[in-house]
Structure 1
Amino acid sequence: MASGLGGLSLGKDAASVRGRVVAMEKLLERGFTIPGTNQQFGLDLLLNFIPVGGSFIAAAMGSYMVWEARNLGMPKSAMVRMAGNIGFDWLLGLIPFVGAVPDFFFRSNTRNLRIIKRHLDRHHPSTAVVDHP
């Protein structure tokens, strides 16, 4: 099994995919913490401050998780829901600067990670890990 940046496995097995989508979600939604609070945010929120282009970049990065879901053989209905989450987030991000506010609360990548984890827990239970708070 090849190892990529940050020790993430480049394998096609379900455990490797889980590691990569968890890392992508963390980068996009929980990479930073507002000092003095427990409130987390990620690159997805920061990209909203780049008018129009930032929203496209965030949507492209979020689409990576849908690509991984496809590689796992997830049902099309789940991938359509994931694409809908990304599309809604993209639309919110098109509103310059103000779009960052709802994006702070509507975390499409976290929602999509939940969909992928549900599939992995059901179809690849050996990949399940105990999440820490």
Structure 2
Amino acid sequence: MGFELPTGTDPVSIRKRIEAMEMLLERSFSVPGTKIPIGLDSIIGLVPVLGDIITTALGAYLVWEAKNLGLPQWKIWRMAGNVGFDAVLGVVPVVGDAADFFFRSNTRNLRIVKKHLDKHHPESRIIEG
């Protein structure tokens, strides 16, 4: 592969891993014929029960990385709440699949982590363009 993820525990490495996971889960593909981004969260979520378990575990990984980063407990709980809400929505057969397009818990959690990193670890900022 031409793409390697950093394995370090420094803020820059953790930020890159979280951003890569969010991209994979929420924006790695487009709906054919449109510009609507979807990711593995929406695709795997179509598999009843097992898909929801897998996507919840992948979302929990982002929360775990944020905990290792040292985010305050209230932000960790907020991120866990986003993942939990997404998991509860995913249990409802058709509503859960549609909700994956509108409630992107991983994107919300990435936003929480970025805001924390930009304030407390400004050296981890990456110029996006």
Q: What secondary structure sits across from 2:93 in the alignment? A: coil
1:29 to 26, 29, 42: 26
Q: Which residue of 2 aligns with 1:41?
A: 38
Deviation at 1:88, TM superposition (A): 0.5
Cα RMSD (Å):
1.5
Deviation at 1:53, TM superposition (A): 1.4
Q: Which residue of 1 aligns with 2:88?
A: 91
Report the residue type matching 2:64 in the other structure: W
Length-normalised TM-score, structure 2: 0.94
Aligned partners of 1:48 and 1:96 also within 8 Å: no
Unaligned runs of 5+ in 1: none
CA deviation vs aligned residue, 1:48-86 (integer Å, no higher than 9, x gap): 211111111101001111111111111000000000000
Length-normalised TM-score, structure 1: 0.92
Deviation at 1:131, TM superposition (A): 2.5
Is 1:126 matched up with 2:98? no
Deviation at 1:130, TM superposition (A): 2.4
The count of corresponding residues between Structure 1 and Structure 2 is 129
1:54 to 41, 51, 55: 51
Task: Among all aligned residue pairs of Structure 1 and Structure 2, give the percentage whose two residues are the same amino acid.
Answer: 53
Report the residue type matching 1:39 in the other structure: I
CA deviation vs aligned residue, 1:97-128 (integer Å, no higher than 9, x gap): 43110111000000000000001101110111
Unaligned runs of 5+ in 2: none
Report the residue type matching 1:74 in the other structure: L
